[in-house]
Structure 1
Amino acid sequence: MNYTIDKQNSDTIVLEFGVRGESLSEENRVQLSTQVAAFRAILEDFDKDPSCRAGIRGLTIRLLFLDGFSEEREGMVVNAFKYLPGLKTFRWACLDGVIPIADEIVEALARGKVEELFFPVTRIGDSDLSRLRGLTTLSLGLPSHERTKGYYHDHIDAFAEVQAQIVRANAPSVQDLAVTTSIRWECTLPALRNASISRLLNCSPAAMNRLLRTSPYLTSLTITSTEPADRNHTPLEVVFEAFDSAPDALPQLTSFKLLASPHDSGVTGVHEQILSEFLKNKRQLRCLHVTLSSGRRSFPYGRHVLEILPTLPHLEVLGVQLSCETLDTDELRFYDRHLPRDLTTLLVSARFDKIDISPDELLSLFTTRTKLKTLTLVPATYPTFRALDDALNPLLFDNRPPSLDFLEWAHCSPDRTRTLVGFCSGPERHNIFCPSSRGGRPFARKPLPNECGLEDWAWLREYDETHTLSPDTGFELERCNYQGTVETAMDVDAAKGENEDDDEIDRITEHIDIRRIEGICYETS
């Protein structure tokens, strides 16, 4: 476990405590023992040299796999709070295993000055987080590997009540709130600025109405739904009912995201019209991402949302669906007329059974957006991918818009999972990312959002479970021992006997001078 502290700017320390894997092998146990010793050494450094800790404001403990969190290790975490009197932010990132937060840790947090708490809702256990008061940021997420587990659904009422207790305890102060599944706190949140409700379950129209009508300062709202087959599934009709009853609510919104499950076929044109009426007077919107109808088979869908886009003068970041049976000249003109000219970041989820325009015409939809820096194309079906791949792919790589810094091309086929290709170019940075179609090893590092000005792309990708590439994918990769150009990294893979997708590599090398792209070879654990 490594850590560094810049004594001139020691705002945050991140500790990765634990090992990856589905079980603790003997090798992993040795590694874990080493990391425990390293954690203890860190605390000793804090004790010996107060200057190391005086300015530290944030602490992240990332438990990658740590089954049987011992009392000794709990005590070490509690000691960390004693050594960090200025701690404002605490993140408990438990990615695997079943490790509830220790009550002693909650007590230590309550005695301190923590204002921002990030914690998995399923790890609260019997601890009373409502003892924490004065929080301005509260994030109670659901780890991705638990989203389909019966354990969570069997205990959803208990989780919802614990979540409601801590929200009520911090109602006067909380400004940024991210919760999972339910809105049960039955109180107003007068200071709320940003709200995210992911995997909506067991939500009543009254609760949604209360959020809309009693949060006058809300500037960012995210709502995502669950699979229709999930137990306790709440149809999005509840959300649309609330929008329909309060179309003028939240006039200060600058960011809005509403994502239906890709298998939810219950959203109709009437619902889209209600949403459009709700959005059309949100003239401060800068970021908008709407995915409603991936499960519908009829064409077209998403047009109501497209039609109100010209009424949003500040819109720069957009995630939108484009669909029709045949993409012809008239349909392209409709898209061109309604997509804002000043977009900087665009995600297009496309569904066309046939493309009846020239590649140059299709390319013009993007080249005429002269400020476009980031483009993500996500064909919703394999026929759409084939149509777009034949018509657009070569031109996008050879004649991409001069302003474009990052291109993400996502596709699927009947016999393999999604493969994504992206590149980021800048004055000093050239990266390309291409995992194998079987979900294997990327042979070059994906640029992270904070490295390449991709914060808006990261916002579009947040909570979007329909694609395999996410804003934090890079953090889940471990560096291998080789650094060099992508071309050489491919040679290294060949020497190891790895079988990459030859067609995919040929397609990349055909359109990009791969010898000029430098990157770092990474591999997943």
Structure 2
Amino acid sequence: MTTSKSTLPPELWAMVIHQLSRDDQRNLLFVSTFFHDLALSDVFSHVTIRFGLWRPDASDYNVVTDDADTPPPPMTEDQRAETALVNLHACEILHHIARTPRFARVIKKLSIRAYVAHSGDGVFELFALKEAVLAMTHIISFRWDGRNPLLNFAVLDALAQSSGHVLRELILPSSDETRTFLAKFKRLQTLILHRPYDPDYMLLLPDDSDVSISDGIEANQSTLARLTLYGDALWRCPVRSLLDLQELEIILPPSLSGLELVLHHCTTLRYVTFDLHVCTNARLLELLTTHPDSLPQLTAFKLFFEQLHPLTHAEVTLLAEFLKGKKTLRMLDLADTDADMEEGTEVPILKILPELPALEVLGLNIQCFEFSHEDFQVLRTHLPPRLSALFLNLTVDGMVLRQDWIEMLSNLTSLRYLHIIDMLDSMDLKQQLLEDHPDSLELVGYNMHLRWLEHDPEQGVPRYSPRWSTEKVKFCTAEDFGCKDWEWLFRYHAPRGLWDRDNLTTQ
């Protein structure tokens, strides 16, 4: 190793280390000072700080489910002890960052998960975070998840002071503090304001409440490419500040009062996501119908809606007509929009799939309580064989013809990621997929659990990797998937009430 080291300059070693797995990079920290210093920037380029414990049964209470009638379960003694250790560890890391400028400069991405159990806690943690952020001068991405403690002015001010000149991605909860401080940043490429502490509060804000959001977007309009906003905030932004957007996500707006201007003027949009209340479904379809030539560069389209009032067959037909003209559409996720395959019912979305020449990534919601061979033939005929990723949200009852499913999927010879949500727990394809799957398949999701398909190095037979932890699924990124397309397809499906589905096993 010493001889090899002497024959290569550090720049080439850094390139080699960058291609290694995370485990191998960590191991290099203990080889020598030379390799420690080279591996440091890769191992700690992204740091995640945890305040408290994220729990799937409680952490997103009243943020994901908005269910005020079902309080979260109390923490156990073991969980309280673990929380104390987690918070202590977080403060130790932050203290080390604040006192070690050389190490602080290595950090490029900083993620915070704030899930302290008791309201009012976290004051000391926020102070430690502020001191550490002041030392980090190269942060290009800052992400905050959770509601306790809430992000405050001091941390945002420290971020603007230390890394405001290089910060490109900002992901925050909607709150008075975050909205007011946005104009401090001038070169953002991605701005995501996700669901706030109290979702109902956002729907009752006075008319001038989102002026600060408008100011923040105008301050970054020359660089901003991706924008995610909750509620009516987008409609209070001058459309001139949105003209260069490439990706737009509109989350639960009470109305679509400003969408017509967006469709008319924002011609550079390529990625569009709508998560709608029932009151806005009809208006969306009306606007898409009257503006069929809007979104001329549409590459990715995702639609969610309030599940108690799904789109009617006529509305799905209108949506299909709009999408049919988008020849550049490469990714389509309608896994929250019913495609009813009951006998004698036409499926408009399936019908247009062969007419989308660029389509590679697809999410579908299919209801059919008695699948026949003819139904499988319809799917096999309409699903493009070139699909690289497929997300199926299935409501299937009665006799399930597993072999028909396998044969249908075998036609997808380029499929690398397959995810199935089985709403009625009526079918189980895990073992069949393990034994007989498209050769290209790499990742399998079943309900909210994901596993890689691997091959036993000794026997050469396929096997499932250990499943991803629930926390990893909740906070998954494109780096976890190894593919931006897959993260986009899975995005927003995890927190929609599916945490309690069956585990993906290897039986």
TM-score (norm 1): 0.71
Q: Distance in 2 between matches of 1:421 and 1:62?
A: 22
Say if 2:137 is the partner of 1:85. yes
Which of 27, 30, 35 is the aligned partner of 2:90? 35
Q: Any conservation in 2 of the 1:253–1:282 contact (CA below 8 Å)?
A: yes
Say if 2:96 is the partner of 1:63. no
Write out aligned runs for 1:296-445 (5 A): 303-354=347-398, 359-380=402-423, 382=424, 385-386=425-426, 388-389=427-428, 395-410=432-447, 422-425=451-454, 430-433=464-467
Using a 3 Å threshold, how does the CA distance of structure 1 residues 377 and 20 change in structure 2: closer, same or farther? closer
Q: Distance in 1 between matches of 2:40 and 2:336?
A: 48
Say if 2:183 is the partner of 1:130. yes
Using a 3 Å threshold, how does the CA distance of structure 1 residues 62 and 254 change in structure 2: closer, same or farther? same
Question: Equivalent residue for 1:487?
Answer: none
Which of 468, 480, 485 is the aligned partner of 2:498? 468
Q: Distance in 1 between matches of 2:466 and 2:323?
A: 36
Write out aligned runs for 1:21-32 (5 A): 28-29=83-84, 32=87
Q: Which runs of 5+ in 2 are unaligned?
A: 1-25, 30-36, 55-73, 458-462
Q: Any conservation in 1 of the 2:334–2:363 contact (CA below 8 Å)?
A: yes
1:20 maps to amino acid? L
Worse overlay, 290-299 or 181-190: 290-299
1:39 maps to amino acid? L
Using a 3 Å threshold, how does the CA distance of structure 1 residues 160 and 304 change in structure 2: closer, same or farther? farther
Q: Distance in 2 between matches of 1:309 and 1:26?
A: 53
3-state DSSP of counterpart to 1:235? helix
Question: Equivalent residue for 2:160?
Answer: 109
Q: Any conservation in 2 of the 1:406–1:425 contact (CA below 8 Å)?
A: no
Q: Percent identity?
A: 21
Q: Distance in 1 between matches of 2:340 and 2:306?
A: 11
Shift of residue 364, structure 1, vs aligned partner: 1.5
Which of 231, 241, 256 is the aligned partner of 1:204? 256
Deviation track 1:367-398 (CA, whole Å, cap 9, x = no partner) reads: 11111122222234x3xx43x44xx5653343
Deviation track 1:191-236 (CA, whole Å, cap 9, x = no partner) reads: 21111122x222234x11122222222111111124x5xxxxx422
Which of 183, 191, 194 is the aligned partner of 1:141? 194
Say if 2:222 is the partner of 1:172. yes
Worse overlay, 342-351 or 159-168: 159-168
Shift of residue 42, structure 1, vs aligned partner: 1.9
Shift of residue 170, structure 1, vs aligned partner: 2.6
Which of 147, 170, 187 is the aligned partner of 2:239? 187
Using a 3 Å threshold, how does the CA distance of structure 1 residues 296 and 100 change in structure 2: closer, same or farther? farther
Deviation track 1:450-487 (CA, whole Å, cap 9, x = no partner) reads: 356454333222112446369xxxxxxxxxxxxxxxxx
Which of 316, 324, 328 is the aligned partner of 1:272? 316
Which of 235, 244, 266 is the aligned partner of 2:289? 244
Say if 2:483 is the partner of 1:457. no
Q: Any conservation in 2 of the 1:262–1:294 contact (CA below 8 Å)?
A: no
Aligned-CA RMSD value: 4.1
Worse overlay, 341-350 or 134-143: 134-143
Using a 3 Å threshold, how does the CA distance of structure 1 residues 74 and 124 change in structure 2: closer, same or farther? same
Deviation track 1:160-218 (CA, whole Å, cap 9, x = no partner) reads: 554344223333331111112222213231221111122x222234x111222222221
Q: Distance in 1 between matches of 2:122 and 2:221?
A: 34
Deviation track 1:275-313 (CA, whole Å, cap 9, x = no partner) reads: 112211221222110145459898777811111111112
Using a 3 Å threshold, how does the CA distance of structure 1 residues 163 and 106 change in structure 2: closer, same or farther? same
Question: Equivalent residue for 1:522?
Answer: none
Q: Distance in 2 between matches of 1:157 and 1:296?
A: 40
Count of aligned pairs between the two proteins: 438
1:212 maps to amino acid? L
Q: Distance in 2 between matches of 1:156 and 1:427?
A: 60
Q: Any conservation in 1 of the 2:477–2:487 contact (CA below 8 Å)?
A: no
Worse overlay, 236-245 or 347-356: 347-356
Using a 3 Å threshold, how does the CA distance of structure 1 residues 405 and 284 change in structure 2: closer, same or farther? same
Q: Any conservation in 2 of the 1:350–1:378 contact (CA below 8 Å)?
A: yes
Q: Which runs of 5+ in 1 are unaligned?
A: 229-233, 411-418, 471-500, 513-525
Worse overlay, 81-90 or 335-344: 81-90
Shift of residue 17, structure 1, vs aligned partner: 4.3
Write out aligned runs for 1:88-99 (5 A): 88-93=140-145, 95-99=146-150
Question: Equivalent residue for 2:271?
Answer: 220
Q: Any conservation in 2 of the 1:121–1:159 contact (CA below 8 Å)?
A: no
1:327 maps to amino acid? F
Shift of residue 141, structure 1, vs aligned partner: 0.8
Using a 3 Å threshold, how does the CA distance of structure 1 residues 469 and 9 change in structure 2: closer, same or farther? same
Q: Distance in 2 between matches of 1:364 and 1:288?
A: 23
Q: Distance in 2 between matches of 1:122 and 1:68?
A: 16
Worse overlay, 340-349 or 423-432: 423-432
Q: Distance in 2 between matches of 1:300 and 1:467?
A: 31
TM-score (norm 2): 0.73
1:374 maps to amino acid? Y
Shift of residue 355, structure 1, vs aligned partner: 5.1
Using a 3 Å threshold, how does the CA distance of structure 1 residues 374 and 73 change in structure 2: closer, same or farther? closer
Q: Distance in 2 between matches of 1:508 and 1:118?
A: 34
Using a 3 Å threshold, how does the CA distance of structure 1 residues 164 and 299 change in structure 2: closer, same or farther? farther
Shift of residue 9, structure 1, vs aligned partner: 4.4
Shift of residue 31, structure 1, vs aligned partner: 5.3
Q: Distance in 1 between matches of 2:159 and 2:433?
A: 54
3-state DSSP of counterpart to 1:18? strand
Q: Any conservation in 1 of the 2:350–2:382 contact (CA below 8 Å)?
A: yes
